[in-house]
Amino acid sequence: MNYNMAKLRSVKCQWCSEQIDRNTEPFEHESKGYYHKTCHSEMKADRANREDLMSFISSLLGPQANLAFVAKQIKQFTSKYKMTHSGIKGTLVYLSDIKKRKLNPRMGIALVPYEYQNARKYFEGLSEVRANMIPYEKPETRVVYIERKQSRYKERNVKDLEAMFEEEFNSDN
Ligand SMILES: [Zn+2]
């Protein structure tokens, strides 16, 4: 071992919270701190999906929407209820386009947890008959996750709209 070479101290990954050995592991650095290279890709895909969802909700609720409140709701639904961004978006499409519900801007997306499963069933039914009227331009941006024990993505509940989107996605390949 060459002791003349400065050894970089390990730092905490801002995405998975595990340590990064900067001497041996590929990493990225940005204003918020350090990331494993794969975690950085996950973070960026997640951020893009969240921004897409936020702009969709903003157009849905109109100028009276409290987007700071909506952002909190999204965070709660994804972390506590294990919903996905595409699942939330699908539920909102279901509510507004299919059920013709007028959403109260002051309530944000509070109806989503109550209709999430109904929306899932609805879209599953659609995909069974291979209707091509599913109101999505593209499936959620996906990245392949490297196995890492405590990654929060390990806990991700896939029993929701995501399964359908994957099917859509795969059928395009
Ligand atoms: Zn990481």
Centre of ligand 1 to C-alpha 39, Å, is 5
Could you count the other beta carbons within 10 Å of the beta carbon of residue 40?
Answer: 19
CA angle 92, 125, 168 (to 5 degrees): 75
> At 27, phi and psi to the nearest 5?
-145, 165
Q: Exposed/middle/buried for 65, CB within 10 Å: 0-12, 13-18, 19+?
A: buried
Centre of ligand 1 to C-alpha 49, Å, is 19
Which residue is it, tokens 């795969």?
170
Between CA 88 and CA 2 the distance in angstroms is: 52
Q: Where are the domains of the chain?
A: 47-133
Centre of ligand 1 to C-alpha 99, Å, is 40
Overall residue count recorded for the chain in this entry: 173
Centre of ligand 1 to C-alpha 8, Å, is 17
Cβ pair 77, 88 in contact under 8 A? yes
What's the farthest any 2 CA atoms get from each other in the chain? 69
Cβ pair 90, 166 in contact under 8 A? no
pTM of the predicted model as reported, rounded to 2 decimal places: 0.62
Centre of ligand 1 to C-alpha 34, Å, is 8
Centre of ligand 1 to C-alpha 126, Å, is 37
pLDDT by residue, tens only, the chain of 173 residues: 555 567 899 999 999 999 999 999 999 999 999 999 999 999 999 999 999 999 999 999 999 999 999 999 999 999 999 899 999 999 999 999 999 998 999 999 999 999 999 999 998 888 777 555 555 545 555 554 444 444 444 344 444 455 544 444 444 43
Between CA 134 and CA 136 the distance in angstroms is: 6
Centre of ligand 1 to C-alpha 18, Å, is 6
Beta strand pairing status for 33-36 and 27-30? antiparallel
Centre of ligand 1 to C-alpha 110, Å, is 31
Between CA 156 and CA 162 the distance in angstroms is: 10
